[in-house]
Structure 1
Amino acid sequence: MLVKWIRCTVVDRHGFERGQRKWAGLLGEPGFMGQSGGWSRRRPDVAHVFAFWENRVFYDSFMAREHDRQAAAQSGTYKDMQVKLFEYRFDVKTGFEPLFTDADVVRLAHSRVYEDRVEHFTLMQQKVWNPAMAGSPGMLRGLFGEAPGNEFLVLSMWQSSAERGKYRPESIARLSARADTDQDIEALTGDVVRLESSWTV
């Protein structure tokens, strides 16, 4: 599975949201599995969109044929767009599916890992972080994805922002020490995204 993560700064919120709803045209595209997104809880002008495709072949075919026509509806409504593609590696919890109807919040963590620490980082994700997240109230499902250049995305879906709040900073600090995270990660960014149901395809 291919995971596409888009992050942009929105300058015309109404126009952007109107254009986002037009991505419903993705339904029926060969290999398309689902898409949703929403607004950053930290920066209200930042939007995140997540799209899922069966593989790179289907995705590339869509990009070559239909993408630009559909994207035209949002032209001029945003700036600073960043797009990254990740290959699915494994589930966080179990049975990941790109379904958004039961989730209110998506949490994402984007890491760039030192080359000689990739194996350790991946192992710690499986042995330390995954069990902790899977046991957190309100955590529904998630995935761990990898991109070229030793970049990784952990994307997790949560039932509500209140439940997400129970995954506390002191717990994260304890887990980080146990996983030796500081030795693995060269750069880390993250966000908490409030999902917009009208963006879900």
Structure 2
Amino acid sequence: MLVKWIRCTVVDRRGFERGQRKWAGLLGEPGFRGQGGGWSRQRPDVAHVFGFWESRAFYDSFMARSHDRLAAAQSGTYKNIQAKLFDHRFDVKTGFEPRFTDADVVRVAHCTVRADRAEHYTLMQQKVWNPAMAGSPGMVRGLFGDAPGDEFLVLSMWRSAAEHGKYQVDRVERLSVRAQTDVDIVAITGDIVELESTWTV
């Protein structure tokens, strides 16, 4: 599965949200699996959208045919758009599906890892981080993906911001030490995204 993560700064919130609803036109596109997103909790003018496709071939076909027509509805409503593609490597918890209806927030973490530590980082994700997240109250589902250039994406869906916050306070520092995260990672950026139900396709 291919994961697309889009982040942008919105300059016309009402226009952007109106345009976001037009992405319902993705339904019926060959290979499309689902899409959802919402607003950053830290920066209220930043929007995140997560799209899922069966394969790169289906995605490329959509980009060549229908993308520009659907995107036109949001023209001029945002700036500083960044879009990144990741290949789904494994689930956090089990049976990841691109569904957004049973979660309130998504935690997105984007890591650039030292080339000689990528294997270790991936192993620690499986052995340390995944079991801890999967066992946390309120964690619904998640995935781990990678992209060329030793870039990785960890996406986790939570029932509430409070439950994710409790996991962060209780466990993250201890787990980071155990997983040697500081040794593996060159750069990390992340956000907590409040999901908007009207953006779900």
TM category (shorter chain) comes to over 0.9
Identity %: 79
The match for 1:6 is 6
Identify the residue that residue 40 of structure 2 maps to in structure 1: 40
Q: Which amino acid aligns with 1:108?
A: V
Aligned partner letter, 1:125: Q
- Counterpart CA distance in 2 for 1:21 and 1:80 is 21
The answer on whether the counterparts of 1:117 and 1:184 sit within 8 Å (CA) in structure 2 is yes
Unaligned runs of 5+ in 2: none
- Aligned-partner SS, 2:9: strand
- Deviations along 1:34-81, one digit per CA (max 9) or x if unpaired, are 000000000000000000000000000000000001100000000000
Residue 31 of structure 2: aligned partner: 31
Q: Report the equivalent of 1:148.
A: 148
- 1:57 counterpart letter in structure 2: A
Instruction: Report the alpha carbon displacement of residue 143 of structure 1 after superposing the two structures with TM.
Output: 0.1
The one-letter code of the counterpart of 1:78 is Y
CA drift of 1:129 comes to 0.3
Equivalent residues of 1:137, 1:166 under 8 A apart: no
Matched letter for residue 26 of structure 1: L
SS of the aligned residue for 2:126 comes to helix
- 1:103-182 to structure 2, matched below 5 A, reads 103-182=103-182
CA drift of 1:162 comes to 1.6
Query: How far 1:163 moved relative to its partner?
Result: 1.3
Could you tell me how far 1:169 is from its partner in structure 2?
Answer: 3.1
Q: What are the Cα deviations for residues 73-101 of structure 1, in whole angstroms up to 9, with x where unaligned?
A: 00000000000000000000111000111
Contact 1:143 1:156 in 2 (8 A): yes
Give the AA of the match of 2:78. Y
Would you say the 8 A contact 1:86–1:146 is kept in 2? yes
**Alignment partner, residue 22 of structure 2:** 22
Match of 1:51 in 2: 51
How many residues align? The count is 201
- Partners in 2 of 1:66 and 1:134 — Cα distance? 37
Aligned to 1:64: 64
Rounded to whole Å, the distance in 1 between the matches of 2:71 and 2:171 is 41
**In structure 1, how many angstroms separate the alpha carbons of the residues matched to 2:140 and 2:191?**
17
The 2-side partners of 1:71 and 1:129 are apart by 36
Indicate the residue corresponding to 1:87 in structure 2. 87
Aligned counterparts of 2:171 and 2:22: Cα–Cα separation in 1: 40
Alpha-carbon RMSD: 0.6
* Shift of residue 161, structure 1, vs aligned partner: 1.2
